């Protein structure tokens, strides 16, 4: 297990999460993809923390987790409000602007 | 404290009239406006008389007053000042402008009563006097040109005074444009003078020409011809005369002042002013004389064919100025200026009287409908007859002396053939004078009753009629070049056939006799048979207008239409509208960014993030 | 041995992440995410970051994922007419992404890996920092960040409450 392999794994996971974010339309799934991306970033950070001295890498990961939890909460609240308003969670069909 | 430093008062007074009437006169009654206007000119006349007295009291060589107001342009080698200069030549002009101008202002006060543009009229009239004085008093070519252009502008404004009438505004435009052709020559002449002499001041040019004749005569001739072109335009000589008959669309006092007495004389004045230039290039004289002679014949014949009384007088003006040009072309400046003064007075009189007649007839101007006016309007008719006799050149009116001097001079300078042609012109003049007289004799040919003119209108007529009688006096004594007038003027005189007094006397008497005979015959002919067969050619001025229309006006109009519909509409408007369309397109493009499509937002986020990261890595040198 | 475990875990993580993206039913996606999170926790353990693995399981799996489950169960989601990700278009997109990735990786490889050989240390032998060290660092060196994070959590809680509240109609 080398740093490069950890990084490669992280990058691949991030790309998967990003593509999923761009390709899917369901609001919940979008949030899930965000979580995937964040996890990928955490993985890379922990990898760096492992290979360099110090505690800062893990502290940073901790904070990221906190933020991610907060964001998931608010995001889900928004999804609930959206579904209540539009009756669907499909983001591609929700458009009030005249474009 | 010499009088010179007060020269500026002369043009300042009418300018003051313009400002006062222009800014404050919008709510004044007619009487107040007129008094300001007439008063300013009257005061200027009084001052002019003071200056004249001063000039008279001096010795012949010392007769000049000059002052320099302001250094206008200065470019190392060339300086142009706002300078005023009064010598006998300009004194004559100033006198004509202010005397006739004052009487015309007075006449207008009554004539234009009730016209909605009363204030505008007097503002323009005063403005004209201002520019005319500037023209006459200027001591250099450039300032003269300023006055020249200014009077052209006022002429345009006043011809088209009743601008709601299309014919009037067209006539104004025509006058301005035709003048422009002459002005082009004038301007080129000024530029040439500036380049060759390094100065445009009359006095300095005269000095340079006198002391150093190293300037090639070809150049001076070219300069003289260019300035002569300007004179042709302003004085309505052939072929730039076409604007004057149409200019009769303006009110009669305007025709009297601008197109009878003052502005059209500006060309003659200019030629006299540049006499040193002419003397240095003597080849130009025959050109001037021939143009003048051709104009005399052309215009007098055209005058014969006119039915409208004002148009007849207009053509007559053209031909009389031709006589002045003939005089200058013979080198007889004093004869030309004398005729200028005499003509200014009697032509002004004729136009004013014609105006009174037209007004009395409720706007009718056709000669064939006039007759027997002598019984109905005795005062006006008397003055009109006086003017007509002066025009024909009958002794002892002023026209006799001046015309005689010119004819004698032309015989001496250019010989018998020339004299015959000039005298023929005088005979035709007598013919159409007879036609004019017929309006006042014989039986009544008009219908309806007449409006008697008011006192304010009649008084100037009487004054001018008396002046016509008196104006002949400076032309004495006869038989010499040393008339009072010539001595006052003090310009170089060329004497021809000096001493041939018997010939001169015989000629004078026989000329007079022939003229009187022709005059009476024509008067009787036109009184009796008014429907005289007059050819179309004469009436239309030999078709010159039509020729110009086809040659110049139509192509220009087509070009203008083209410019408007193609270049202006498509290119210019297209460009301007294109910018608007471009902005709108850009806006729509940017607005599309806010589409509400979620996926697009996400994609742009991702793309933007990638770009930013790539940029930052690039700048860190990481690649 | 070590490497084998790593690659198994890493492979599982990638596959389950793909499942999150590809599966149509959101419920299935949530379950796939669960697998991803657990496997990542395993990776953390392998790298010696016990604290982080602990928090991964407690926070992510225990709180966030459960929240997702609650919301999905509560909402009555109609099946949407999305275009399935495994459609030809999606596959084409994946293919393109794959090409880019390989190109990028190849370029990095040609320059001798991600890092210059000297910069990376061989790694801390044994385990990483324990909870004691992390706590010390967090509450002393990075106290401000900690406080800000707590404020953020408070704000998020309030925000979630406000967003979800029903409009009260005025009489």
Report the alpha-carbon distance of residue B122 to residue B131 in Å, rounded: 14
Cβ of B596 and A91 within 8 Å? no
Residue C12 forms contact with A (CB below 8 Å): no
Top pLDDT among B568 and C114 is at B568
Q: Which of B55-64, B80-89, B263-272 has the lowest mean pLDDT?
A: B55-64
pLDDT (mean) for B409-429: 86
Top pLDDT among C171 and B43 is at B43
Query: Counting one residue from A and one from C, how many pairs have CB atoms under 8 Å apart?
Result: 223
State ipTM: 0.90
* Closest by Cβ to B606, choosing from A22, A92, A97: A22
Cβ of A35 and C105 within 8 Å? no
Cβ of C40 and A39 within 8 Å? yes
Q: What is the pLDDT of residue B459?
A: 82
Residue C162 has pLDDT above 70, yes or no: yes
Using an 8 Å CB-CB cutoff, list chain B residues near A31. Answer: none
Report the alpha-carbon distance of residue B76 to residue B82 in Å, rounded: 17
Give the residue from B128, B129, B124, B114 showing the smallest Cα distance to B31.
B114
User: pLDDT for A25-47, tens place per residue?
Assistant: 888 999 999 999 999 999 999 98
Q: What is the pLDDT of residue B303?
A: 86
Q: Distance from B172 to chain A by nearest Cα, in Å? A: 59
pLDDT (mean) for B421-449: 80
Using an 8 Å CB-CB cutoff, list chain A residues near B606. Answer: 18, 21-22
Report the alpha-carbon distance of residue C43 to residue A1 in Å, rounded: 11
Residue C14 forms contact with A (CB below 8 Å): yes
User: pLDDT for B124-154, tens place per residue?
Assistant: 999 999 999 999 998 889 999 999 999 999 9
Q: Which residue of chain A comes nearest to C136, CA vs CA?
A: A55
How many C-beta atoms surround the C-beta of residue B449 within 10 A?
A: 10
Share of chain B above pLDDT 90, in %: 14
H-state helical runs in C23-87: 26-46, 50-55, 66-74
Q: pLDDT band for position C61 (50/70/90)?
A: very high
Out of B63-77, B202-216, B508-522, C48-62, the most confident range is C48-62
pLDDT (mean) for B481-495: 70
Residue keyed to tokens 């107001």: B69
Q: What is the pLDDT of residue B454?
A: 75
Residue C94 has pLDDT above 60, yes or no: yes
Residue A13 forms contact with C (CB below 8 Å): yes
Q: Distance from A7 to chain B by nearest Cα, in Å? A: 17
Residue C30: burial class (beta carbons within 10 Å; 0-12, 13-18, 19+)? buried
Q: pLDDT band for position C84 (50/70/90)?
A: low
Cβ of C164 and A26 within 8 Å? no
Mean pLDDT of chain C: 82
- A89 φ/ψ angles, rounded to the nearest 5 degrees: -105, 10
Report the alpha-carbon distance of residue B133 to residue B127 in Å, rounded: 10
Q: Distance from B168 to chain A by nearest Cα, in Å? A: 60
Q: Which of A75-79, B452-456, B463-467 has the lowest mean pLDDT?
A: B452-456
pLDDT (mean) for B502-523: 80
Residues in chain C: 171
Residue B499 has pLDDT above 80, yes or no: no
Residue B592 forms contact with A (CB below 8 Å): yes
What count of Cα atoms within 13 Å lies in the side-chain half-sphere of residue B10? 35
* Closest by Cβ to A99, choosing from B592, B602, B606: B592
Q: pLDDT band for position B481 (50/70/90)?
A: low
Residue B598 forms contact with A (CB below 8 Å): yes
**CB-based contact A44:A7 (threshold 8 Å):** yes
Q: Distance from C111 to chain A by nearest Cα, in Å? A: 13
Q: What is the pLDDT of residue C19?
A: 92
Give the residue from B349, B456, B396 showing the smallest Cα distance to B38.
B456
Q: Which residues have C-beta within 8 Å of that of residue A78, sequence separation ≥ 6?
A: C163
Residue keyed to tokens 């006055």: B147
Q: Which of B348-362, B383-397, B436-450, C156-170 has the lowest mean pLDDT?
A: B436-450
Cβ of B592 and A97 within 8 Å? no
Mean pLDDT of chain B: 83
Top pLDDT among B612 and B376 is at B612
How many C-beta atoms surround the C-beta of residue B1 within 10 A?
A: 5
Residue B596 forms contact with A (CB below 8 Å): yes
Structure tokens belonging to residue C101: 């990735």
* Closest by Cβ to A59, choosing from C26, C142, C152: C142
Report the alpha-carbon distance of residue B361 to residue B366 in Å, rounded: 10
Residue C92 forms contact with A (CB below 8 Å): no
Residues 123-152 (C) with a CB less than 8 A from some CB of A: 123-124, 128-129, 133-134, 136-138, 141-142, 145-146, 149, 152
Q: Estimate to the nearest angstrom the gap between the alpha carbon of B545 and the chain centroid.
A: 19
Q: Distance from C169 to chain A by nearest Cα, in Å? A: 15
User: pLDDT for C9-31, tens place per residue?
Assistant: 999 999 999 999 988 888 899 99
Top pLDDT among B411 and B483 is at B411
Peptide bond into B362 cis (omega under 30): no
Residues in chain B: 623
Q: What is the pLDDT of residue C123?
A: 58
How many C-beta atoms surround the C-beta of residue B200 within 10 A?
A: 24
Share of chain C above pLDDT 90, in %: 42
Q: Which residues have C-beta within 8 Å of that of residue B427, sequence separation ≥ 6?
A: B514, B515, B518
Count the helix, strand and coil residues of chain C and give each as a percent rounded to the nearest 5: 70, 0, 30
Q: What is the pLDDT of residue C124?
A: 56
pLDDT (mean) for B404-408: 84
Q: What is the pLDDT of residue B478?
A: 63
Residue A82 forms contact with C (CB below 8 Å): no
User: pLDDT for B12-51, tens place per residue?
Assistant: 888 888 888 888 878 888 888 888 889 999 999 998 888 8
Using an 8 Å CB-CB cutoff, list chain A residues near C17. Answer: 13, 16-17, 20, 36
Give the residue from C145, C66, A18 showing the smallest Cα distance to B599.
A18
Residue A70: burial class (beta carbons within 10 Å; 0-12, 13-18, 19+)? buried
Q: Distance from A63 to chain B by nearest Cα, in Å? A: 22
Q: What is the pLDDT of residue C169?
A: 63
DSSP for B203-250 reads HHHHHHHHH-TTS-HHHHHHHHHHHHHHHHHHTT-TTS-THHHHGGGS
Q: Which residue of chain A comes nearest to C57, CA vs CA?
A: A65
Q: Which residue of chain B comes nearest to A99, CA vs CA?
A: B595
Cβ of A25 and B599 within 8 Å? yes
Q: What is the pLDDT of residue C66?
A: 94
Q: What is the pLDDT of residue B22?
A: 86
Q: What is the pLDDT of residue C114?
A: 60
Q: What is the pLDDT of residue B380?
A: 82
Give the residue from B202, B206, B59, B74 showing the smallest Cα distance to B144.
B202
Mutation target among A22, A37, A92, A93 for the B interface, most CBs of B within 10 A: A22
B76: left (phi over 0), alpha (psi -120 to 50) or beta: left
Cβ of C85 and A39 within 8 Å? no
Using an 8 Å CB-CB cutoff, list chain A residues near C93. Answer: 19, 23
Q: pLDDT band for position B588 (50/70/90)?
A: confident
User: pLDDT for C108-160, tens place per residue?
Assistant: 777 766 655 545 555 555 666 788 888 888 899 899 999 999 999 999 999 99
Q: pLDDT band for position A67 (50/70/90)?
A: very high
**CB-based contact B97:B86 (threshold 8 Å):** no
């Amino acid at each position: 297990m080398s740093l490069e392999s950890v990084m490669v794994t992280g990058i691949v996971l991030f790309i998967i999460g990003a593509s999923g974010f761009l390709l899917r339309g369901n609001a919940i799934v979008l949030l899930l993809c965000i979580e995937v991306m964040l996890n990928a970033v955490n993985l890379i950070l922990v990898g760096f923390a492992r290979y360099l001295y110090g505690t800062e890498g893990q502290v940073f990961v901790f904070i990221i987790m906190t933020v991610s939890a907060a964001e998931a909460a608010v995001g889900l609240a928004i999804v609930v409000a959206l579904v209540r308003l539009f009756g669907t969670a499909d983001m591609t069909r929700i458009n009030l602007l005249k474009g | 404290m010499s009088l010179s430093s007060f020269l500026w008062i002369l043009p300042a007074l009418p300018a003051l009239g313009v400002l006062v009437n222009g800014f404050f006169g919008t709510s004044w009654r007619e009487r107040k406006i007129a008094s300001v206007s007439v008063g300013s000119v009257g005061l200027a006349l009084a001052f002019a008389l003071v200056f004249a007295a001063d000039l008279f009291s001096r010795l012949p060589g010392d007769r000049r007053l000059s002052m320099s107001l302001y250094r206008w342009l200065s470019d190392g080698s060339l300086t142009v000042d706002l300078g005023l200069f009064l010598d006998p030549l300009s004194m004559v002009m100033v006198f004509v402008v202010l005397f006739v101008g004052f009487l015309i202002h007075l006449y207008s006060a009554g004539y234009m009563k009730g016209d909605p543009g009363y204030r505008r009229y007097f503002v323009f009239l005063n403005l004209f006097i201002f520019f005319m004085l500037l023209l006459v008093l200027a001591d250099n070519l450039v300032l003269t040109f300023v006055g020249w252009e200014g009077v052209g502008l006022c002429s345009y404004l006043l011809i088209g005074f009743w601008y709601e009438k299309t014919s009037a505004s067209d006539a104004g435009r025509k006058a301005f444009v035709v003048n422009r052709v002459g002005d082009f020559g004038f301007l080129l002449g000024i530029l040439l003078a500036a380049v060759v002499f390094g100065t445009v001041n009359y006095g300095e040019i005269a000095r340079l020409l006198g002391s150093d004749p190293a300037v090639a005569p070809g150049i001076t001739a070219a300069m003289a011809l260019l300035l002569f072109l300007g004179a042709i335009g302003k004085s309505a000589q052939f072929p730039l005369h076409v604007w004057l008959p149409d200019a009769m669309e303006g009110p009669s006092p305007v025709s009297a002042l601008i197109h009878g007495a003052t502005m059209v004389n500006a060309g003659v004045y200019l030629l006299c002013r540049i006499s040193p230039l002419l003397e240095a290039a003597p080849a130009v004289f025959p050109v001037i004389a021939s143009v003048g002679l051709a104009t005399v014949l052309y215009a007098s014949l055209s005058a014969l064919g006119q039915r409208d009384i004002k148009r007849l007088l207009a053509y007559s003006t053209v031909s009389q100025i031709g006589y002045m040009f003939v005089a200058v072309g013979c080198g007889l400046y004093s004869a030309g200026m004398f005729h200028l003064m005499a003509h200014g007075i009697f032509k002004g009189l004729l136009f004013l009287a014609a105006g009174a007649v037209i007004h009395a007839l409720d706007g009718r101007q056709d000669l064939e409908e006039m007759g027997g006016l002598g019984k109905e309007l005795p005062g006006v008719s008397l003055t009109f007859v006086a003017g007509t006799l002066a025009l024909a050149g009958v002794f002892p009116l002023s026209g006799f002396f001046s015309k005689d001097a010119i004819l004698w001079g032309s015989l001496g300078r250019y010989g018998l053939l020339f004299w015959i042609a000039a005298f023929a012109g005088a005979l035709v003049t007598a013919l159409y004078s007879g036609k004019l007289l017929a309006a006042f004799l014989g039986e009544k040919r008009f219908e309806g009753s007449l409006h008697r003119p008011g006192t304010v209108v009649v008084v100037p007529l009487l004054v001018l009629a008396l002046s016509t009688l008196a104006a002949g006096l400076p032309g004495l004594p006869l038989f010499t070049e040393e008339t009072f007038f010539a001595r006052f003027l003090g310009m170089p005189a060329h004497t021809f056939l000096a001493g041939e007094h018997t010939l001169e006397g015989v000629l004078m008497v026989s000329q007079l006799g022939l003229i009187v005979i022709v005059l009476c015959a024509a008067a009787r002919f036109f009184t009796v048979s008014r429907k005289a067969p007059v050819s179309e050619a004469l009436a239309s001025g030999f078709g010159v207008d039509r020729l110009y229309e086809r040659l110049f006006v139509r192509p220009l109009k087509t070009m203008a239409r083209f410019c408007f519909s193609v270049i202006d509409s498509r290119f210019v408007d297209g460009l301007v509208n294109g910018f608007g369309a471009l902005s709108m397109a850009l806006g729509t493009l940017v607005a599309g960014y806010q589409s509400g499509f979620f996926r697009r937002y996400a994609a742009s986020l991702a793309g933007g993030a990638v770009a930013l990261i790539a940029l930052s890595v690039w700048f860190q040198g990481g690649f | 041995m070590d490497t084998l475990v790593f690659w198994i875990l890493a492979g599982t993580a990638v596959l389950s992440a793909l499942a999150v993206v590809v599966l149509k039913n959101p419920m299935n996606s949530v379950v796939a995410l669960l697998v991803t999170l657990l496997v990542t926790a395993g990776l953390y353990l392998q790298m010696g970051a016990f604290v982080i693995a602990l928090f991964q399981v407690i926070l992510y799996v225990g709180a966030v994922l459960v929240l997702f489950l609650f919301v999905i169960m509560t909402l009555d989601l109609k099946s949407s007419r999305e275009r399935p990700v495994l459609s030809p278009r999606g596959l084409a997109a994946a293919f393109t992404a794959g090409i880019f990735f390989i190109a990028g990786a190849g370029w990095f490889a040609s320059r001798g890996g991600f890092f210059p050989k000297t910069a990376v240390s061989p790694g801390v032998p044994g385990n990483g920092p324990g909870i004691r060290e992390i706590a010390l660092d967090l509450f002393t060196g990075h106290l401000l960040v900690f406080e800000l994070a707590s404020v953020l959590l408070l704000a998020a809680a309030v925000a979630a409450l406000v967003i979800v509240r029903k409009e009260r109609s005025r009489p």
